[in-house]
Amino acid sequence: MADSSLSLDELLDLKMLPAWVNEPTPELSPVGHDRWARRTPRADRKTPAPDVERPTFTADKQRDHPRKKRDRHSFPRKDRRHEERDKPLQDLTSRISVRFLPRPPALESVVAQIKENPVAYSIFALARLFLAKPERYNVRLTANAESPLFQLGDSGAVSVDRQSLERDAFRFAQSSFYKVDITQSEPIKGNFTNVARCKLSGTLLGPTNHHDYQKRLRSLFEQRFSRRMSFADYQRQIEIASDPALVEQWKEEARKITTYSTLNGEVLETFASATDAERHFRQNYLLGLIITAMELTIDGPISRQLPDRALHRLIENEWSRAMRSPSHMMQELTGQFRQAGLHIFRHRRGMLFVSPIRARPLVLDCAAVSPPVNAILETLGAAPRISRKELADKLIVDLAGEEQERAKLALASDLHWLIREGYVIEFNDGSLDLPRVKAKSAISAAEPTPEVAPTAEIGSIESRPTDAEPALAAAAASAPAEAEMGGS
């Protein structure tokens, strides 16, 4: 089983960019059938093109050179093909909604790590961190009343087409109902000069005069091609190869005997072919295995291996959109964080952050504040987002030796108290800042009024990639530069 735990240290590997860098989001595309990855970037466009000898035309040749006329009312044929290809997906999009949810084990891991230190993390970056790997999220599919969803068992494949799911049911559920045993028989005797091979699958069926040839031919057709073509059409896809190496390869493969034994039931039944086992599966198990539902939740790895291509592509497109603007995942995380006792607040032009400490502003001229603490607050107010070292450089000057060390210890103690009380926010990139203060409200030390974002409101959010501290480097830098996204 794939590991669904999530370590916030992963944010250390992300690029750290200044706030003014506006890096475009990389294009996401599928690689293969069962996994998604970032598209390999093209070569640098500034690289000069190789020298190519181009034809030169004289004035006469240029005048006589035929030019292709283009009808301004004509449309490229490929555009029409794209529209036809995208039509089923557009229809499916109107019938089924896709939503990504944090997977409970991964969420519990992140909550535990956030509670370890009084550090704030970007919820935007955390949302992308959950979406980065399928082991960290679940996919909730919601269909309308006219087109329900179909699932194979409680945790099997999902499809919008019941017939297609039934056709592939034996292949998906075979291991749950049958035990497969492979043994070897005696070497095949006889001299064979050729062997029949399926051009569609490359399967070696054996010499046409071998006693097992017709059985293997019919079995392969029924398992893989009977739903696409007739048996007569399939026979035209068989070729005869005279390569001695292929003949020897067939002899080794033909020695393998595969049997299927039932795992459930009081009476043990054994079948000599996959065709017989599938027939038994359809008669005894299939009817009670297909589940009809209007809403299903599947885990991330299964969502990337669905046999229904249209549904697979729909989830892939929604995942790409969520990686660019993870507002729905942010809403889910915000609600879960609140239930776990964490605090959500807005900062840095409306960005959402999560912290185990409740941020609350402190009035600078409060009489109860000591001069060293007041100096820290005034310095951070004048120079926000500075680090601990930069703060020490500004406050500890013209000191040396033991006096400097005592000043550093005192500064660390005062800063630790301010962070623990929520008067100073320390972000996971090491930067320090004061909580935001509402302009229309009078704020005092006795009645602090931190600006906390409500759960349902995730509006325009900007995120800047941040550095990370030891154990919790994960939560605030999964976003490139300052990314602005619209809330849901």
pLDDT of residue 191: 85
290 vs 472, residue with greater confidence? 290
* 312 has a pLDDT exceeding 70: yes
List b or e across 314-348, with b for residues whose CB sees 16 or more CB atoms inside 10 angstroms. Answer: bbbebbbebbebbbbbbbbbbebbeebebbbbbbb
> Which tops the pLDDT comparison, 293 or 453?
293
Question: What confidence category does residue 101 fall into, taking pLDDT thresholds of 50, 70 and 90?
Answer: very high
The share of the chain scoring above pLDDT 90, in percent, equals 38
Give the range with max mean pLDDT: 3-12, 76-85, 209-218, 329-338: 329-338
What are the pLDDT digits (tens) for 424-483?
Answer: 999 998 899 999 877 554 444 444 444 444 333 333 333 333 333 333 333 333 333 333
Give the Cα separation of 57 and 69 in Å (integer): 20
Residue 337 has pLDDT above 90, yes or no: yes
The reported pLDDT for the residue numbered 400 is 85
Asked if residue 162 has pLDDT above 50, the reply is yes
Of the pLDDT bands very low, low, confident and very high (cuts 50, 70, 90), residue 133 is very high
Residue 3 binned pLDDT confidence (cut-offs 50, 70, 90)? low
Q: Lowest-confidence range among 34-38, 310-314, 333-337, 342-346?
A: 34-38
Q: Decide which of 304 and 77 is more confident.
A: 304
Task: Kindly tell me if the per-residue pLDDT of 105 is higher than 70.
Answer: yes
pLDDT of residue 40: 40
Instruction: Quote the CA–CA distance of 472 and 42 in Å, as a whole number.
Output: 34
**Residue 417 pLDDT:** 93
Confidence at 365, pLDDT banded by 50, 70, 90: low
Q: What pLDDT score does 216 carry? A: 86
Q: What is the pTM of this model?
A: 0.64
Distances (CA, A) of 300 to 131, 132, 133, 360: 9, 11, 8, 38
Distance CA 230, CA 237 (A): 11
Tokens in use for 152? 């194979």
pLDDT band at 238 (very low <50, low <70, confident <90, very high): very high
Q: Is the pLDDT at 151 greater than 50, yes or no? A: yes
Asked if 358 contacts 343 with a C-beta cutoff of 8 angstroms, the reply is yes
Residue 291: is it exposed, middle or buried by C-beta count within 10 angstroms (0-12/13-18/19+)?
middle
- Identify the pLDDT of residue 364: 56
More confident residue, 12 or 390: 390
Residue 411: what pLDDT? 93
Q: How large is the average pLDDT for residues 103-111? A: 94
Q: How confident is the model at residue 332 (pLDDT cuts 50, 70, 90)?
A: very high
Residue-level pLDDT at 8: 59
- 112 versus 473: the higher-pLDDT residue is 112
pLDDT for the residue numbered 88: 58
